[in-house]
Amino acid sequence: MNDRDRRILRLAVPSILTALSTPLIGIADTAMIGHLPEVAFMGAVSTANLIFNAIFWCLAFLRMGTTALVAQYFGARDSRACAEILYRSLLLAVLMGLGIIATAPWIADAGFALAGGSAEVQYWGDRYFAIRVWEAPLALGVLTLNGFFLGTANALAPLWVTAVANLVNIGADYALIFGKWGAPELGVEGAAWASVLGNSAALVTGLLILLLRYRSYLLAWPRRIWDFRPMRRLLQTNAFLFGRTLCLQCAGFFMLGMVSRMGEAQLAANAVVLQVWGLASFGIDGFAHAAETLVGNSLGARLYAEARQLARRIICWGLVVGSVFGLVYFIALEEIAALFTEHRQVIAHVGALYWYIALIQPLNAVVFVFDGILIGANDMAYMFKAMAVSAFAVFAPAALVFVFWLDLGLPGAWLAYNGLMLGRFFTLWPRYRSDAWLRSITSAEDAEEQR
């Protein structure tokens, strides 16, 4: 193992652990609410969690955009520019969080209307949502801080932040849902307050790390924080990332809409496959995050050959991890599905998909690493175009053919989704092979605009 491999793993392994532990807040809420007497409580919390996950996933560009810009300035050893990106990103996070709070009633109404459910589910879901929405500025602030930490090649800080959030949330869940340790028994509302407390603890932890490890950065207060010119690049970067995420979300919702019309067993099987697919993405995303940081650092330092060498090495690591997941799914997909459900019909539907789930994993890994490389290069405009082409010119027509014309059912839907991944690969591969992404880096003139 050479020095490049060690640098990659120092970032990838903590990032994988962070990704694996991130969903625990929603899991803890659902698991403990499941022990309350009313079945509607569990449906309410699960639906509200889906709405929050969709919101925060769409706004994950705050993390990626901050990482991209900070990584390049950090590589250029420009601590002042790094700090100014952080301040402006935090400002955006607060404004967006307040916007979510201001529009919470409409978001909740739309989300629960789309999800359906009984009047009781919606009633308790609204009460949970009305409390938990106050975490929005906190959660977006945590996303921004984690993006800053990753940009400075510190993957342990996000792991600590996430660990604290989970510990506080799980403890507060137990205390506030069931009235333990002298706390009031709040039931569903207790779960919402526990989530707010968890994100509050995460933000405090992130700010403490910032104060202890990045004290010199905190002194670099930008003179013109509201000026448009220095904000322009940050806004542009985030706009392209947001557009890319929306394209992917559209494909996901279209996929869900198709499958939901096939029957309950197919819908349940699709839910299991999404969990399996997500597990693999957690393992691969750690290397994508390493690519964001290391490629960005190298390009910021104008070490173009090193950036290419690191990118090539991270792709190799991604291929190894993707191939391992693919082999496991090829051998034991039905056995893994049995961990999620006992219904034989659902397991059979999952088993029929093993070709589509297993064989695509190595290619998925390369696509995710390509994303990380282009994020590190701040090549967001091309990423947005590639995702738009893949979603609307490849996935949508493939879905119409395989699902509606050939009537292949659930395998047809996942064949179309494989088409989305193939589309992403064939649009990102030429960009990676060219030198165009090397020319997307932050220029010295842009750094001066930050001042």
pLDDT number for residue 447: 44
pLDDT number for residue 230: 63
Q: Does any domain span residue 384?
A: yes
Structure tokens at 125: 């879901």
Q: Both 57 and 170 in a single domain?
A: yes
pLDDT number for residue 259: 85
Q: Both 133 and 174 in a single domain?
A: yes
Domain that holds residue 244: 240-451
Q: Does any domain span residue 231?
A: no
- State how far the Cα of 104 lies from the Cα of 126, in Å rounded to an integer: 10
65 closest CA partner among 368, 451, 383: 383
Q: Both 254 and 208 in a single domain?
A: no
Q: Both 210 and 264 in a single domain?
A: no
What does the pLDDT profile of the chain (451 residues) look like in tens digits?
788 899 999 999 999 888 877 766 666 766 677 777 776 777 777 778 878 888 888 898 899 999 999 999 999 998 888 988 898 899 999 999 999 999 999 998 888 887 666 778 788 889 999 999 999 999 999 999 999 999 999 999 999 999 999 999 999 989 998 888 888 888 889 989 999 999 999 999 999 999 999 988 776 665 555 565 667 778 888 899 999 999 998 898 888 888 878 887 888 888 788 878 888 888 899 999 999 999 999 999 999 999 999 999 999 999 999 999 999 999 988 898 887 777 788 889 888 998 899 999 999 999 999 999 999 999 999 999 999 999 999 999 999 999 999 989 999 999 999 999 999 999 999 999 998 888 766 543 454 444 4
Q: Does any domain span residue 234?
A: no
Domain boundary (226, 253, 277) is at: 226
- State how far the Cα of 326 lies from the Cα of 337, in Å rounded to an integer: 15
pLDDT number for residue 194: 93
Q: Both 442 and 309 in a single domain?
A: yes
Structure tokens at 6: 């060690």
Measured in whole angstroms, how far is the alpha carbon of residue 257 from the centre of its chain?
22
- State how far the Cα of 410 lies from the Cα of 402, in Å rounded to an integer: 9
Q: Does any domain span residue 435?
A: yes
- State how far the Cα of 110 lies from the Cα of 207, in Å rounded to an integer: 34
Q: Both 278 and 164 in a single domain?
A: no
Q: Does any domain span residue 288?
A: yes
Q: Does any domain span residue 352?
A: yes
Q: Both 54 and 109 in a single domain?
A: yes
Domain boundary (200, 226, 252) is at: 226
Helix axes 39-58, 104-115, angle to 10 degrees: 120
pLDDT number for residue 263: 82
Q: Both 25 and 165 in a single domain?
A: yes
User: pTM for the whole thing?
Assistant: 0.88
Domain boundary (201, 226, 251) is at: 226
Cβ neighbours around 185 below 10 Å, total: 11
Q: Does any domain span residue 367?
A: yes
Query: What total number of domains does the chain contain?
Result: 2
Q: Both 293 and 441 in a single domain?
A: yes
Handedness of CA 301, 306, 308, 312 (dihedral sign): negative
- State how far the Cα of 34 lies from the Cα of 401, in Å rounded to an integer: 41
Q: Both 173 and 56 in a single domain?
A: yes
Q: In this structure, which amino acid lies at residue 299?
A: L
pLDDT number for residue 221: 61
Q: Both 40 and 179 in a single domain?
A: yes
pLDDT number for residue 153: 94
Q: Both 132 and 277 in a single domain?
A: no
